[in-house]
């Protein structure tokens, strides 16, 4: 499944957290580390409404973005944030173009 939006990312992180938490008693040390990583990502996602905000929270968490278990979710989040920023810039450019004056009626052509 390809994750395209922040909402889908949050749902995927939650699914991974639930998957690991149901197997908690059977996890080795690496599995417990992944469980803890997804727990932190899931909990932190409650405080963000966009991928960019979530990235800021992750960076503020002190090195979570460098954690081996967080590499794939953080990479996906960066892609989503870039898409969100591109869409926001496109909308801003459209609004700017829409509000620009049309000119003084002279096209420069001679009739």
pLDDT in tens, 4-62: 999 999 999 999 999 999 999 999 999 999 999 999 899 999 999 999 999 999 888 77
pLDDT of amino acid 1: 64
Alpha carbon distance 56, 83 (integer Å): 16
Structure tokens at 87: 């869409």
* Least confidently predicted of 2-6, 57-61, 79-83, 95-99: 95-99
Structure tokens at 22: 């149901």
DSSP code, position 70: G
């Amino acid at each position: 499944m390809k994750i395209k939006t922040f909402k889908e990312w949050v749902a995927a992180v939650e699914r991974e957290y639930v998957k690991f938490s149901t197997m908690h008693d059977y996890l080795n040390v690496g599995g417990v580390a992944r469980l803890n990583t997804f727990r932190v990502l899931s909990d932190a996602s409650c405080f963000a409404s966009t991928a960019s905000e979530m990235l800021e929270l992750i960076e503020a968490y002190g090195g979570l973005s460098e954690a081996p278990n967080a590499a794939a979710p953080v990479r996906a989040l960066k892609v989503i944030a870039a898409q969100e920023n591109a869409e926001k810039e496109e909308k801003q450019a459209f609004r700017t173009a829409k509000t620009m004056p049309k000119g003084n009626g002279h096209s420069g052509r001679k009739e």
